[in-house]
Structure 1
Amino acid sequence: MYLEEIFIKKDISIREAIKKLDVTAKKILLVVEDDVLIGTVTDGDVRRWILKNGDLSFQVHNIMNKTPTSVPIKEKHLAKQYMKNKGIESVPIVDDKNKILDIVFWNDDVDLAINKFEKVSSPVVIMAGGKGTRLYPYTKILPKPLIPIGEFSITERIITRFTKFGCENFYLTVNYKKNMIKAYFDELDKDYQMSYIEEEKFLGTAGSLYLLKGKINETFFVSNCDILIEANYSDILAYHKENNNLITMVTSLKNYKIPYGVIKLGNNGRVVGTIEKPEYDYLVNTGFYVLEPETLEDVPENTFFHITDLINRYIDRGKKVGTYPIMENAWLDMGEINEMDRMMERLKL
């Protein structure tokens, strides 16, 4: 990576900064004037702005950290200690005039990327009972949870990310080709506990949670079996608890640009305005959640029921449902064949 790839000016829009964060995938941008560090922008800064419902067309100086941590070049060898003390993932290296000379990332060293975070032990439910019809013809032969992404199945990759944060207790909801799924995981040499929750009929994205009543009595994660989330799971859990949410949805910021001029109409077909190639930003549900155990009591018995049905019930009742936004590049979805190809490309498989 060239250092200049993560340089930005303070007057670019937050939307443009988000795009650059996605392209570089480094979770940090350095705001510079003549190569002098004047601020930083991280995915956390963007997340806080989104949660305030901030306008993404605003200039980036509205969200940048104006007093960023940096390390003098003569103390570069202490950079990892600085990051550990501050709980950050990267630190710029500067000269005595605050000109940027280098940047050190925590994960420059093998296997350090996760180790500095707080360990979590929450149970994990992976929803793996569906037919995966969008992945036909692959899923005519293999159930979606066993579709290989490189040398490992998608479900193994999901589990690996959770185990790096300390999770050891997994529940796999199964239905379609369930015997094949169970046989596969029973043969693996595992360092985690796997339990199977067997549906007798298709129950949607949340109906099978009813079968977990009495089995889970603490805050737990739920993940679809066709996604990978690159985020700090311990931070997601901490955010969920700090905000006293019943459910926290992990959402991804999606930007859509209309490649045409859009016409605004008034009465009787009269054109009242035009917008040239407008952009729209949305928070999209990724299929990754944190739930409190009492939510299991609100899942109907043996009923086709989506988790969005549960979320909408809570919203109607005034219960607290929150969101934890992540960058678009931090969410990989293999629900469709072209998206599966993108996932493998992103993981360089």
Structure 2
Amino acid sequence: MDYMDLCISGEITVREAMEKIDITAMKIVFIVEEGKLCATLTDGDVRRYLLGGGNMEDAAINAANKQPRAAHNGEQAKGLYHAKNYIAIPIVDNNNIVTDIYFGNEKQSSKTYDLNIPVVINAGGKGTRLYPYTKVLPKPLIPVGEVPIIEHVMQSYQKFGCSEFHIILNYKKELIKAFFSENENQYNIAWYDEDKPLGTGGGLSLLKGKLDSAFFFANCDTLMQSNFDSMLRFHREHSNTITMICAYKNMTIPYGVIEMGKDGVIEEMREKPEMSFLTNTGTYIVEPEVLEDIKEGVSVGFPDIIEKQRQNGKNVAVYPVSGNEWLDMGQIPELEKMRVKLYGE
């Protein structure tokens, strides 16, 4: 990769910088003015800025680290990089002009995590968005590459030391159980059968008294390529009852947009503006006390459960991630995108 691909102007917006971070997949960009290094910006910097009240349309420099570490040669860059596990180290000359970026050219052992908290997966839906595939197979068993959707999800949590799975079933539940009974990976799974559809949240009532710690709660078609350790630390540090994992999505409005004032006066005109908004990924961190407030045998959406907790004065917060870290496998067009992302062309 050409190091200039990671260099941006501080005048571009946070949203535009996030798009650049997503495209390069390096999780960092360098703010450079007239060739000189001014700051660095990572996805973590953006997250902290937004959680502090910042806006996606603010200048990227406002969210950046204005005291970046830099080296003057390759050996110095290598030492810095490996000493503190940096993402990348810029190399600058005596005038602070960027001449290269060191990414680490030696294979490093990946960091290991041991979160060791339960993962609850809602796998009871009919998967109507994936029809006609789900007429034959339940949604959790629709393959992406050679691995079914739900197994991709489970493996993503296993990478962070989560091996205790609780799976809520309804539609074609015997097929799902049969698949895992013959699965060579021998997952640690507890099954919960709904007698009738209970929505995206009602099935949790089946777990009352089963869990005594915070747990991840996810839909079976939601794959997060994020740092679950960071999510859990955020949840605990803020004493949240529920933390919603939400992804920033950008959408270009295909029309000219007009802001109208009093008496029809045009206050602003924007041609095909790009809008940023937070989307619920269907992934949460939940405290076990929430289970006690869910009525048994009653269909309810998990967003309604969240709203009830908010009304009761509980801490409910959002942990924002890049839209590039969220893969929604619940739609047919997205399945191919996911296959390409996971396995390549």
With normalisation by structure 1, the TM-score equals 0.91
Instruction: Within 5 Å, give how 1:28-47 maps onto structure 2.
Output: 28-47=28-47
TM-superposed deviation, 1:39: 1.3
Residue of 343, 346, 349 corresponding to 2:338 = 343
Between the aligned partners of 1:320 and 1:173, the Cα distance in structure 2 is: 26
Give distance in 2, aligned partners of 1:70 and 1:120.
Answer: 33
Give the CA deviation at 1:161.
1.1
In 2, the alpha carbon distance for the partners of 1:154 and 1:80 equals 36
Q: Residue 62 of structure 1: CA displacement?
A: 0.8
- SS class of match (2:197): coil
Deviation at 1:2, TM superposition (A): 2.2
Task: Note closer, same or farther for the CA distance 1:79–1:154 as it changes in structure 2 (3 Å cut).
Answer: farther
Q: Could you tell me how far 1:76 is from its partner in structure 2?
A: 4.3
Structure-2 residue corresponding to 1:109: 107
Q: How many Å apart are 1:129 and its aligned residue?
A: 0.5
Report if the CA contact (8 A) 1:73-1:95 is conserved: no
Matches within 5 A, 1:87-106: 88=86, 90-95=87-92, 97=94, 98=96, 99-104=98-103
Shift of 1:5: 1.4
**Kept after mapping to 1: 8 A contact 2:180/2:186:** no
Aligned residues: 340
How far off is 1:127 after superposition?
0.8
* 1:105 to 1:119, Cα distance in 2 relative to 1, 3 A: farther
Partners of 1:311 and 1:91 in 2: CA distance? 39
1:148 aligns with 2:148: no
Partner residue in 2 for 1:308: 303
- For the residue of structure 2 that corresponds to 1:194, the secondary structure is strand
SS in 2 for 1:30: strand
Match of 1:181 among 157, 176, 182: 176
Distance in 1, Cα, partners of 2:292 & 2:233: 23
Deviation larger for 56-65 or 143-152? 56-65
Deviations 1:171-215 (A, max 9, x none): 111111111100101111225411111111111111111111111
| Alignment match, 2:12 | 12
- Per the alignment, residue 128 of structure 1 pairs with 123
With 45-54 and 318-327 compared, the bigger mean Cα shift is at 45-54
Give SS of 1:280's match. Answer: strand
The 5 Å alignment of 1:40-119 reads: 40-71=40-71, 72-78=73-79, 81-84=82-85, 88=86, 90-95=87-92, 97=94, 98=96, 99-104=98-103, 109=107, 112=109, 115-116=110-111, 118-119=113-114
Deviation of the 1:264 alpha carbon: 3.7
Shift of 1:317: 1.9
Where in structure 2 are there 5+ consecutive unaligned residues? none
**Cα separation, 1, equivalents of 2:10 and 2:49:** 16
Q: Percent identity?
A: 42
CA distance in 1, matches of 2:262, 2:93: 64
Change (3 A) 1:79 1:271: same
| 1:113-262 equivalence runs, <5 A | 115-116=110-111, 118-190=113-185, 192-262=187-257
8 Å CA contact 1:73, 1:93 repeated in 2: no
- Three-state SS of the structure 2 residue aligned to 1:217 is coil
Structure 1 unaligned blocks of 5 or more: none
Cα 1:264–1:157 shift into 2, 3 Å: same
- The Cα of 1:38 is off from its aligned counterpart by 2.3
Structure 1: how far apart are the matches of 2:9 and 2:260?
37
CA distance in 2, matches of 1:96, 1:265: 51
SS of residue in 2 equivalent to 1:166: coil
Deviation of 1:75 after TM superposition, in Å, equals: 3.4
| Pairwise CA RMSD | 2.1
Cα shift at 1:280: 2.5
- The amino acid that maps onto 1:63 is A
